[in-house]
Structure 1
Amino acid sequence: MNKVLVGFTAGILVGILFAPAKGSETRETIARRGNELKDKFNDLVDSMTDKFDSLKADAEDLVDEGVRQAKAYQNEVS
């Protein structure tokens, strides 16, 4: 599977580089697509960070509630 991905990527790059466009246009296309990919990756990282922070806050709330209940049970037993 890894070889297929490498071959696919190489094919796209060769196609872009040998396309009937000026070199400057090709470089602009590569730069634009690279920036789009970078932006998508950054959005993915931001989304994952937000979800992680949300899960962390939920876990902290759950732990706090567990501690409160444990103390309440301890007070009832005492």
Structure 2
Amino acid sequence: MKASSTILGFAAAAAAGALLGVLFAPDKGSNTRKKIKDKSKDYSDNLKTKFDGIVNTISSNGKEIIEEGKAKFNQVKDDFNAVKDEAKTVKSNY
């Protein structure tokens, strides 16, 4: 989560810097509002894209971990059954 917090911090700082730059630029109020609206949409879309990428990465990693856990569980179950069968064989020989 530290990386996503860092990314979010940089995005917020960039947005604040862009906003201040637009606010202090000499332009008509309507043009300034339009620029702010356009920039905020751009930053919002960019942030959403990055967030979606992070969520997809976490989801795919989670799925991989679950699949690996299932495989390990099945291997342990097979090993247990093999030992149990061997124990039955040894028991029947005595």
TM bucket by the smaller chain? 0.7 to 0.9
1:49 is aligned to 2:49? no
Instruction: Flag structure 1 segments of 5+ consecutive residues without an equivalent.
Output: none
Aligned-residue RMSD, C-alpha: 2.0
Following superposition of structure 1 onto structure 2, how do residues 1-78 of structure 1 map, counting pairs within 5 Å?
Answer: 9=17, 13=20, 15-78=21-84
- The whole-number CA distance in structure 2 between the counterparts of 1:66 and 1:50 is 24
- TM-score for both structures, normalised by structure 2: 0.66
- TM-score for both structures, normalised by structure 1: 0.78
- The whole-number CA distance in structure 1 between the counterparts of 2:60 and 2:71 is 17
Larger Rg: 2
Give me the identity figure in percent: 27
- The whole-number CA distance in structure 2 between the counterparts of 1:40 and 1:68 is 42
Letter in 2 for 1:24: S
Higher relative contact order (CA 8 A, sep 6+): 2
The C-alpha deviation readout for 1:14-59, integer Å capped at 9, x for no partner, is x422323211011100111111111111111111111111011100
- The whole-number CA distance in structure 2 between the counterparts of 1:21 and 1:45 is 33
- The whole-number CA distance in structure 2 between the counterparts of 1:12 and 1:63 is 48
Letter in 2 for 1:19: A
